[in-house]
Amino acid sequence: MNAHYERLVSARDAEALALVVGNNTHEMDAADALADVVMEARLVPDHELPENRVAMNSRVTYREDGGAKRTVRLVHPRDADPATLCISVLSPVGRALLGRKRGSTVVASLPGERSGRLHILEVER
């Protein structure tokens, strides 16, 4: 399947994320990687984004290969707080989840300089 159709991002999220990318001088590599994610995604009007797609402020439950389930909320960098499991869309896991659908398996960089497969079990928006 074409990469354009693997990720769906709402036009409203794409617009807000463009500001994140354009105003981020501290994490330039992450901002560039996020820009690539958004450019490769198919943009749809907000009301047409299926409920099973990960959008900004979505609560996502996933399982890492061989690991326990984890539930996180995908947020803008200023709202990220690991203590409350709010992860930044600039993080490797956040970028990997954005625009994906429930049932997908994605690869993301994980702590400890390793990568892992994440199986998306549930998406709540």
**pTM of the entire predicted model:** 0.90
Write the pLDDT tens digit of every residue in 42-56: 999 999 999 999 999
| Host H or E run for residue 119 | strand 114-124
Instruction: Report all structural domains of the chain as residue ranges with CATH numbers, in order of start.
Output: 3-124 (3.10.50.30)
Q: pLDDT value at position 114?
A: 85
Token readout for 81 is 């707080």
Return phi, psi of residue 48, to 5°. Answer: -100, -5
pLDDT digit string (tens) for 9-44? 999 999 999 998 887 767 889 999 999 999 999 999
Q: What is the rounded average pLDDT for all residues in the chain?
A: 92
Q: What b/e readout covers 60-96, taking b as 16+ CB neighbours within 10 angstroms?
A: bebeeeeeeeeebbbbbbeebeeeeebbbbbbbbbbb
pLDDT at 2 over 60: no
Give the orientation angle of helix 11-23 with respect to helix 28-40, to 10 degrees.
160
109, containing H or E segment: strand 105-110
Query: In this structure, is the dihedral angle defined by the CA atoms of residues 61, 122, 66 and 98, taken in order, positive or negative?
Result: negative
At 25, phi and psi to the nearest 5? -100, -10
User: What is the average per-residue pLDDT within 63-91?
Assistant: 95
Would you call 68 helix, strand, or coil by DSSP? coil
What pLDDT is stored for residue 5 in this prediction? Answer: 57
DSSP state of 101: B
